[in-house]
Amino acid sequence: MNDVPLMLYVVDDDEALRRSLHMLLFSQGLPVQTFESGESFLATVDHRKPGCVVLDLRMAGISGLSVLEELKLRHSPLVTLFLSGHGDIPTALEAVRLGAYDWIVKPDVEQLLKKLPGAIDEAYARMQALQRWSELTVREREVARLVSLGYSNKDIARQLIPPTGPRTVETHRSHIFDKLNLGNANELSRWLTSYSWLE
């Protein structure tokens, strides 16, 4: 899975910094695409593909936090690292609450390079989760969400439209665990919580 290249995006309205980060990250063997604004990033990038975003907080136009909020609304699997010279603790906490992977204060590029491998590993984990989830049928996804909430096979069978029997639900449950490589409903609940952006 890690043989598949992940795109790394840099979104910052500081042209000198964008160029510097592009050269630095490209020299690390990473495919990099840069954007001067949150608007151009959101309008251009396929938000459904896993990858990493190095995102500035304060930019002309919409802010980095607004970009992150939009990615969350779009159920995007993109992993976000904030890089900002204007960081403060409340803003950092808000970014993490919205799902940011981490926060680095400009111009600590060394810290960025230290934290980037973990963000890339997370992006690969999301890519794998997305692949596994896509292998489930629409009905299996529906059953998976109900199983994760603790409903019994009988309750799930009644809630499905059209209704079905508990044995059919048990078959779906078995397929779900096999395809997602999970052992039980508790693991499934934790898995879906970790990848809450899955649709």
Can you give the CATH number for the domain in which 47 is found?
3.40.50.2300
Q: Are residues 32 and 127 in the same domain?
A: yes
> Is 176 a domain residue?
yes
> Is 1 a domain residue?
no
Which has the closest alpha carbon to 8: 161, 163, 90, 117? 117
Q: Are residues 67 and 104 in the same domain?
A: yes
> Is 199 a domain residue?
no
Higher pLDDT, 168 or 88: 168
The dihedral sign for the CA sequence 179, 183, 189, 195: negative
Residue reference for tokens 């309205």: 13
Contacts of 112 (CB under 8 A, 6+ apart): 21, 54, 81, 83, 104
Summarised one tens digit per residue, pLDDT across range 147-165 is 999 999 999 999 999 989 9
Number of domains the chain contains: 2
Q: Are residues 21 and 33 in the same domain?
A: yes
**Domain around 90:** 7-133
> Is 129 a domain residue?
yes
Mean pLDDT (whole number) for 22-36: 90
Q: Are residues 38 and 121 in the same domain?
A: yes
> Is 35 a domain residue?
yes
Evaluate whether 79 touches 50 at the Cβ level (below 8 Å): yes
Asked whether the predicted pLDDT for residue 93 surpasses 60, the reply is yes
Q: What is the pLDDT of residue 87?
A: 60
Q: What is the pLDDT of residue 91?
A: 79
Domain termination residue (choose one: 113, 133, 153)? 133
Q: Are residues 176 and 144 in the same domain?
A: yes
Confidence class for position 4, pLDDT limits 50, 70, 90: low
Residue reference for tokens 């992006």: 123
Asked whether the predicted pLDDT for residue 89 surpasses 80, the reply is no
Domain termination residue (choose one: 133, 156, 186)? 133
Domain termination residue (choose one: 133, 159, 177)? 133
